[in-house]
Amino acid sequence: MFKNKFSKKLVLVLSVALIIGLFTACGGKQQPSDNTSSGNSEPAEKAITGLINSGGSTSVEKAAKKALEEFTALNPGVTYEYDATGSSTGMKNAADGTYHIGFASRELKDSEKETGMTYKPIALDGVAVAVNPENGVNELTIEQIQAIYKGEITNWSEVGGEDSGIVVVSRENGSGTRGAFEEIVGFEDELVDGAIIKDGNGNIATYVAEEKNAIGYISFTTLNSNSDKVKGLDVSGAEPTVENVQKGSYKISRPFNMAYNEENLNEAEKAFAEFLFTDEGQNSLEDAGAIKVK
């Protein structure tokens, strides 16, 4: 009887030892990791590809292209087009599908909103009143700017400058900068006869840089990139700076708007529209001189 009990215990001990040995041997083998096991693996995230078809405001162009460059660097399978045609054309083409994403450097008109497009401000911008660096005038009030553009003030001596005639420079019809500037300053449809008309912010900056008695208006982004050629005037006591736009003390400012029809957007365009409101997207807009909305 003692032998039987001893034999049973021995068999039990040996069985346990065998099980432990087998378990240890199995445990020593390299098990497949979660991301390589066929049973537990998740499919790799699909790379974003496609063309971003966009265009519109010349004021938004620099900031939009900076964001597009950043986005395409992060997504090498994506390419982009930006057609700088002006805000009104940008909204028209976004509405009819010529552009999948349109940009305007002003508020949308009621007729544009009625097309049913989705529109969002992606950034803010100030509009600087620009003069030649040799001009002795450093500040104007909103009322004085209005009077100059309406032709009621025609000589720089009337606002503290030299006895020289003022050369008024404005943007072309359909310009978002022109629409915003006229609305804020208060001379819509009252631009003085004989005003010099220039397409694009850059052309106004070039003209003012070469004409001592000229006055024009350009986006902050253009002012910053031409600071050695033109001078931005203080307006009603506020310098044309990002900080003053954010505080509300510099009054001549406007939104940079994006507009699109959702059904026209491809995968890349949807992702880019979302990217613009991420930290990376907002930083890229700021790097180009725009003012963050987020």
70-93 pLDDT, tens digit per residue, is 999 999 999 999 999 999 999 999
Which residues, 6+ apart, have CB-to-CB distance to 125 below 8 Å?
59, 105, 219, 220, 221, 245, 253, 254, 255, 256, 289, 290, 291
pLDDT at 17: 43
pTM: 0.69
The reported pLDDT for the residue numbered 283 is 97
Reading the block at residue 89, the tokens are 């054309």
| Cβ pair 291, 241 in contact under 8 A | no
Per-residue confidence (pLDDT) for residue 46, from 0 to 100: 84
Exposure on the CB side of residue 6, measured as CA atoms within 13 A: 3
| Model pLDDT for residues 9-49, shown as the tens digit of each residue | 434 433 444 333 434 444 444 443 444 444 455 555 789 99
Domains in the chain (CATH in brackets) are 50-123+255-292 (3.40.190.10), 126-253 (3.40.190.10)
> Under a CB-based contact definition with an 8 Å cutoff, are residues 176 and 86 in contact?
yes
Q: Give the chain's residues under pLDDT 50.
A: 1-39
